[in-house]
Amino acid sequence: MRAEDAARRVKVLVLDVDGVLTDGGLYYTAEGLAMKRFNVQDGLGIKLAQAAGLTVGVITGLDSPCVARRVHELGIRHYFPGFRDKGDSLRAIAEAEGVGLEEMAFLGDDWVDVKPLAVVGLPMAVANAQPEILEMAAWVSTRPGGHGAVREAIRFILHCQGRLEAQWAAWNE
Ligand SMILES: [Mg+2]
């Protein structure tokens, strides 16, 4: 199926964190606390997606208070941190939302994302994803993770659904 056709069916977009919502960099304070850098354009994109009726979820292998904070700020209800099976987490979101896997998109960058990417209707990858992940993806961003790839993915989905233009019009009211 073409990425555009798959995008039209998407009701839930699930995002990886490291290398997707961030550039993959891990900063550590002297106390050992991890810090990550998020992108504000991605943040507004997530807000726009939610306003357009799309549900956004976040699945990450790592568990970090700064990610929990960002997820909370963005009003993301489905947050699965920690070392668990990303495929299981994805299915839990599908169940909670009452949607089929074909109505889901997943944006990833590395081998740990293989399970969700293999089952969703719209597998998406960031431009600097690992080669095997790029191969699996029906859609690849032009921007790397942490530098607007999430916003680009959301723009693509909303545009295919004819909702991007409506969001832009509503913004200008
Ligand atoms: Mg990642």
142-164 pLDDT, tens digit each: 999 999 999 999 999 999 999 99
Tell me the CA–centroid distance for residue 95 and ligand 1, in Å.
23
Residue 85: CB atoms within 10 A of its CB come to: 14
Q: How far apart are CA 32 and CA 35, in angstroms?
A: 9
Tell me the CA–centroid distance for residue 97 and ligand 1, in Å.
23
Tell me the CA–centroid distance for residue 129 and ligand 1, in Å.
8
Sorted by where each starts, the structural domains of the chain and their CATH numbers stand as 3-168 (3.40.50.1000)
Tell me the CA–centroid distance for residue 163 and ligand 1, in Å.
28
3-38 pLDDT, tens digit each: 999 999 999 999 999 999 999 999 999 999 999 999
- Sign of the CA dihedral running 136, 140, 145, 150: negative
Q: How far apart are CA 43 and CA 48, in angstroms?
A: 9
Tell me the CA–centroid distance for residue 169 and ligand 1, in Å.
33
Tell me the CA–centroid distance for residue 7 and ligand 1, in Å.
21
Tell me the CA–centroid distance for residue 130 and ligand 1, in Å.
10
pLDDT band at 1 (very low <50, low <70, confident <90, very high): confident
pTM: 0.96
Mean pLDDT, residues 37-55: 97
Residue 39 pLDDT > 90, yes or no?
yes
Residue 56 pLDDT > 80, yes or no?
yes
